[in-house]
Structure 1
């Protein structure tokens, strides 16, 4: 639908500590008081109407190559939160400008899943977030700390490399994966000179496999950061950080909650 025939628009604003994105699902960019909302193919679920409308969950579908998707995937590694506000804009009296008539939905991004047909972004309402019980410590054998966070305390293990070629999710490195990080990059990330971080799911002799396709020019110097599987063995052998291990590896396998009839 053309700009001249529309009387109402949807405007999406995503904000985090390191970046902001302004998008609109319509076929044209929208300039609102100097802020440009970029035209992007966005699909969303139907939001409930009535008293519970503000509590409805929001699910979006975007192109997997969208800059916002890349940012959300990188933010999932660092724990950086991203808020989202869906506003409604209406055409001015004379039809020559747009103005915000109200806010349709507010909340935060819970996660993003990338598939061949698109990226699905799950969002939670601000009202639901405020009423949720606070986070509690996980009772699990594996460590619950975010790698390299203050609670983890491990020192990052990194190495630089030069990209020789990138195809889809595979990034080949000149001279292969550096020996100091070889075999330990799963769960870590590749960082470009611009600061973008891309999660690594596997490393092989000649390069690394990323979580999602990324186009990186040959000759680009990247920083590879080692990952962790959150086990005691890796915590000790790779990082020498067992004193800060955040799991409970000695949970007994036989307990009242395991289904044993007689304990």
Structure 2
């Protein structure tokens, strides 16, 4: 029996929804849930039942494909725990499928995608976590950032416009201790790594990255304490991390540290004196 036949029937419909969260590359980073009371396998992915799974109703309107979505789920679910301490390093995508349970065949009908987007934030209320999702159409229609006439370089360090070689400006250091907002690593780390990125690869999980906000050297112990922008999740002492240099987004850093002056995106030669002002430029 097809999905269309069940949809048009008066009493055969038993709608089931499948929620596929994708976090990073690979099948191992897919979290799949269903609002049914039993596990369902579709496209080699097993969707597990979870308590409290619900969503806002889809409103039929001209902006249907651009509507945001709020999904409620048990706060102990893995997808909710992913947002518990610090937002994920990668975008969390969500696809909601809808199908029916065909009692005669003992299987689901062909699932159809009813909503596609990404999860932006998570808040908690009681024993539930509310995930706020934005549709993919909304993100595609959003106006991009404008390139202003400014001194500082607007490019993201190591990004597609910057194109600085991250591997050439990274070092690998060992972790000696881990705290909620800091990690201590072996060696005296230069101040140039302030504003850089520390990254590590947890076993079987996506890459974790944090911005380095501060560096405190301990010359006597031969270690450095790095203050991070978020909690170092899935990181243990004795493991190694990769530390990439930071950039002050000035022409000096771009030229002298990264040898990347031709791709500098700022305007370092903007005059400081207004020729139409009251200050005399020429005597």
* Residue in structure 1 matching 2:100, options 90, 95, 103: 90
Name the residue aligned to 2:89: 74
Question: Is the 2:202–2:235 contact (alpha carbons within 8 Å) kept by the matching residues of 1?
Answer: no
Name the residue aligned to 2:210: 199
Q: CA deviation at 1:115?
A: 7.7
Q: Deviations over 1:210-247 (max 9, x none)?
A: 33331312211121122334344443454232321113
Residues 74, 34 of structure 1: CA spacing in aligned structure 2 closer, same or farther, 3 A cutoff?
same
Q: Distance in 2 between matches of 1:228 and 1:115?
A: 33
* Residue in structure 1 matching 2:64, options 53, 65, 73: 53
Question: Is the 1:166–1:215 contact (alpha carbons within 8 Å) kept by the matching residues of 2?
Answer: no
Name the residue aligned to 1:19: 26
* Residue in structure 2 matching 1:184, options 169, 179, 193: 193
Question: Is the 2:189–2:215 contact (alpha carbons within 8 Å) kept by the matching residues of 1?
Answer: no
- Please, what is the CA RMSD of the aligned residues? 4.2
5+ unaligned residues in a row in structure 2: which ranges?
1-12, 217-223, 275-283
Alignment length, in residue pairs?
237
Name the residue aligned to 1:259: none
Q: CA deviation at 1:42?
A: 6.6
Bigger radius of gyration? 2
Q: CA deviation at 1:191?
A: 2.3
Question: Is the 1:87–1:105 contact (alpha carbons within 8 Å) kept by the matching residues of 2?
Answer: yes
Residues 130, 222 of structure 1: CA spacing in aligned structure 2 closer, same or farther, 3 A cutoff?
closer
Q: Distance in 2 between matches of 1:44 and 1:87?
A: 12
5+ unaligned residues in a row in structure 1: which ranges?
1-5, 76-80, 256-263
Give me the TM-score of the superposition, normalised by structure 1. Answer: 0.66
**Alignment of structure 1 residues 1-263 onto 2, 5 Å:** 7-14=14-21, 18-20=25-27, 21-24=30-33, 26=35, 29-38=39-48, 47-58=58-69, 65-66=81-82, 73-75=88-90, 84-94=94-104, 96-107=106-117, 109=118, 112-113=120-121, 122-126=133-137, 128=138, 138-141=147-150, 142-156=152-166, 157-173=169-185, 175=186, 178-179=187-188, 181-192=190-201, 194=203, 196-205=207-216, 206-213=224-231, 214-249=233-268
Question: Is the 2:198–2:241 contact (alpha carbons within 8 Å) kept by the matching residues of 1?
Answer: no
